[in-house]
Structure 1
Amino acid sequence: MVAVVFAGVALLLALPFLLSQGLLNAAVQMLIAALFASAYNLLCGQAGMLSFGHAAYFGVGAFGTVHAMNAVGGAGLLPTPLLPLVGAAFGLLFGGIAGWFATKRTGTYFAMITLAIAELVHSLAPHLKGLFGGEAGVSTMRMPAWGLDFGSTTQVYYLTLGWALLCVGLLYFFTHTPLGRLAYGLRENSHRLRFLGYNVHGLGMAVFAISAMFSGVAGALQVLSNESANYVVFDPGLSAAVILNSYIGGVKMFLGPALGAALMTFFGYAVSDLTQSWLLYQGILFVLVMMFMPSGLAGLPGTLGRLRQRFGLARAMPLVLLSVGAALLLSMGGTFMIELLQRVFSQDYRSAVRLHPGDAWPPVMLLSREWSPASVATWSVPLTLFAAGLLLAWIARRRRAALEDGQTESPPPGHRVARTEGAA
């Protein structure tokens, strides 16, 4: 595991030499999203407190940083590389206040309080123009410091990478402290902690404030990247995105949310220019992960390892290949169907129908060719892909059932059978 982490860090350090400036800017956003998800996972995954309004602390850190940049100009005690400390301070302060109220309750009531606080900030921000700049927001500029001008995307990337690695490392260290261990107790059995004499409310408030502090750092890095802050950073969609990213990656593993956030951020960057339905795909992916991979994408290697340990590599590999093939065919059929329907029901297509009254179903362009919605052959393509995918899924299910039945009759190769007493 340590070797994998060092290899990942080495790859991140080498990215500016491998990517274009546009992709490097996407990598900056991936790092910020990964840090935000890791901070959120401290509260949700580790302490078991589901927050619906974590964008509030991301946004407070962002606006605290943008005002500090305009006030001190990235010089003095707060040069540009240290400005994320301002976001951390504002996130910690606001998180401590909000956490005191939110952690008075647990479960659904806690989630609703966090949502109410975030909605309150989001509603007030457009009206407090002196503080949040109204719809135009607040602009700033990165100033030179420590011999760097921070005028290139490469320098911003390395600054973001340094802070992201530092914060993720501190979050990992926190999980091994006594307070971090007690946070697991909040998730598993808070009543037992209270019975043992711990101040459960104070413990929950501390974890909430620390999570908000690192969320504020992520907000500060967003400002350093964009050189501006708008009240959109308080949008509920940002709170929803960090929840989806964390669960897609896997909240039970430390790096799971970071992985999910990075992948989904890249997915949005790569797919949003190709289709208008990319948010629908993101939602479908979330539902499928929750249904078939509750441990998230980060738990996939563990699942494959358990299959190999249970059935052996030779017998598990065909099962994996059948499952991957079924997933690919079903994905292709679903994507084709969604894109075809999206074009047929679009405003542009309705306009084309009105312009060509004699042709009730004009062809649509998809995959660099024209498809007639009135043709049976057009709809047979996704249906055939669906049928083939379902067939492979059925075969994979039958094969797994056969493997499990065979395992109950005889152990897989390589497994030793314990000898009972009295056996020759």
Structure 2
Amino acid sequence: MSIKAKLTLGTAVLLALIIMPPFLDAGWQNALNTMLIASLFALSFNLLTGQAGLLSFGHAAYFGIGAFAALHLMQAIEDGLPVATPMLPLAGALAGLIAGVCAGWFATMRSGVYFALVTLAIAELFHSFAPHLKNLFGGESGISGMRMPWAGFNFGTVLEVYYLTLAWVVVCTALLWAYTRTPFGRLTLALRDNEQRVLFMGYDAHIAKTVIFAVSAMFSGVAGALQAMSNETANYALFASHVSAQVVLYTYVGGATLFFGPVFGAVAFTLFAFLVSDLTRSWLFYQGLIFVLVMLYAPNGIGGAIAYHVRHWRELNWSRLAQPYGIALIGGMLVTAGVVFVTETVSILFGLEYANLRRSAEGGFPEFALLGGTWSPTSPITWALPASLLIGGIWLIRKAIKQINDTQDDNRELDHSVTDKEGVQA
């Protein structure tokens, strides 16, 4: 994709994010706000993981530190400190930077799995000690603050907070993008690709990795501060391992090899949680299943798959690919329906409500309601239906994959034949 096309697409997305929210309800506005914060958190994490090749399992530490720093500044503003409310994320940036320098110096003494374990240990230390440090983290209940009015804005509505978040996310994203275009950004990629060569060139890899770690932690602190401003409260749960795991899911499902790849993952999972969490208690299972399937069959993530098709748009034989892609889509829908049916059935049968229903029915397996119908656990149809959906869906997907592979093989043979003819003519 050309630079002009990228700028056009980016401008269109930004205009949509500016124009669309006033026409949505507060629930969707809050979901978009959460999506923006998750995107910034994932981009900052990807600076360390995707670009520097340093996988962190404890980035929640800097997200949480940024949140608490912003809340302490919010409380100080309430007491009369002359600081503009839109500048609150700077406290998160400073706190994240300081914590990143201190933690990064020790963590980057190791690499690979040992680096990941050190980062995990640091985050768990914060998670363990935070409930006991009441002056800093407010104990188990956490701390709260209020967004104070500034320049005619009272920041009392979700929409005002959304636009403030959007402004900070756009600025931080631009800074992260600019970082990748600097010589030090190129050095970051070199550390990922071949650290030994960087050492031979005379660079201090340890200091360089510490700086990268600190910059990543700084922008994570900004994301945490935006989260604190949105909720006006925070507790030690921000340091929990599931927060670190969530940003790993965002990054790898979206595509760690692309700058904007993690944004795809953050948007997908945020919207998925918003739309599905109210429909089923098993939504975390589906989220984990999506992660497993993407890692198995699309290791470059959603963004990587999109980027591949954009780069090879003119080279791909769409007249032949349209059919297998459509077959794969239908197969995926059938498999999804089968998995959802089985998952929800098992969730109901092993749930507390169904156990009480069995006791009131004096034994046996009473019927249960699911997807607008009534099903009996002992009926063959109840289990034959999802089995048929799964088998049929898997068969269609395998058929589509075979057709896609055959198309790619034909394209390679055609390329080879054209190359051979050009060589003979030369």
Superposed pair shares fold, TM > 0.5 = yes
Confirm whether residue 32 of structure 1 aligns to residue 37 of structure 2. Answer: yes
Offset of residue 91 of structure 1: 0.3
Confirm whether residue 114 of structure 1 aligns to residue 98 of structure 2. Answer: no
Offset of residue 294 of structure 1: 0.9
Counterpart residue type for residue 194 of structure 1: L
Counterpart residue type for residue 421 of structure 1: V
Question: How far apart are the structure 2 equivalents of 1:35 and 1:139?
Answer: 23
1:386 aligns to what?
390
Question: How far apart are the structure 2 equivalents of 1:45 and 1:56?
Answer: 19
2:368 aligns to what?
364
2:402 aligns to what?
398
Offset of residue 110 of structure 1: 0.6
**Secondary structure of residue in 1 paired with 2:203:** coil
1:174 aligns to what?
179
Offset of residue 146 of structure 1: 1.6
Question: How far apart are the structure 2 equivalents of 1:417 and 1:392?
Answer: 36
**Secondary structure of residue in 1 paired with 2:151:** coil
Count of aligned pairs between the two proteins: 421
Question: How far apart are the structure 2 equivalents of 1:250 and 1:393?
Answer: 23
Instruction: Note the residue ranges of structure 1 that are not aligned, 5 or more in a row.
Output: none
Confirm whether residue 334 of structure 1 aligns to residue 339 of structure 2. Answer: yes
Question: How far apart are the structure 2 equivalents of 1:361 and 1:407?
Answer: 56
Question: How far apart are the structure 1 equivalents of 2:296 and 2:287?
Answer: 14
Offset of residue 77 of structure 1: 4.6
Question: How far apart are the structure 2 equivalents of 1:162 and 1:74?
Answer: 26
Equivalent runs, 1:157-236 vs 2, <5 Å:
157-236=162-241
Q: 2:257 aligns with which of 252, 255, 265?
A: 252
Contact (CA 8 Å) 1:74, 1:144: kept in 2 or not?
A: no
1:60 aligns to what?
65
Instruction: Note the residue ranges of structure 2 that are not aligned, 5 or more in a row.
Output: 1-5
What is the TM-score normalised by the length of structure 1? 0.95
What is the TM-score normalised by the length of structure 2? 0.95
- Structure 1 residue runs of 4+, over 6 Å off? none
**Secondary structure of residue in 1 paired with 2:369:** strand
Question: How far apart are the structure 2 equivalents of 1:141 and 1:129?
Answer: 19
Question: How far apart are the structure 1 equivalents of 2:181 and 2:408?
Answer: 38
Contact (CA 8 Å) 1:74, 1:83: kept in 2 or not?
A: no
Offset of residue 76 of structure 1: 5.1
Confirm whether residue 349 of structure 1 aligns to residue 360 of structure 2. Answer: no
Deviation sequence 1:331-370 (CA, Å, 0-9, x none): 1111111111111111111111111115x11111111221
2:159 aligns to what?
154
Contact (CA 8 Å) 1:39, 1:212: kept in 2 or not?
A: yes
CA RMSD of aligned residues (A): 1.9
Offset of residue 328 of structure 1: 1.3
Counterpart residue type for residue 392 of structure 2: A
Question: How far apart are the structure 2 equivalents of 1:219 and 1:275?
Answer: 28
Counterpart residue type for residue 400 of structure 1: I
Offset of residue 388 of structure 1: 1.4
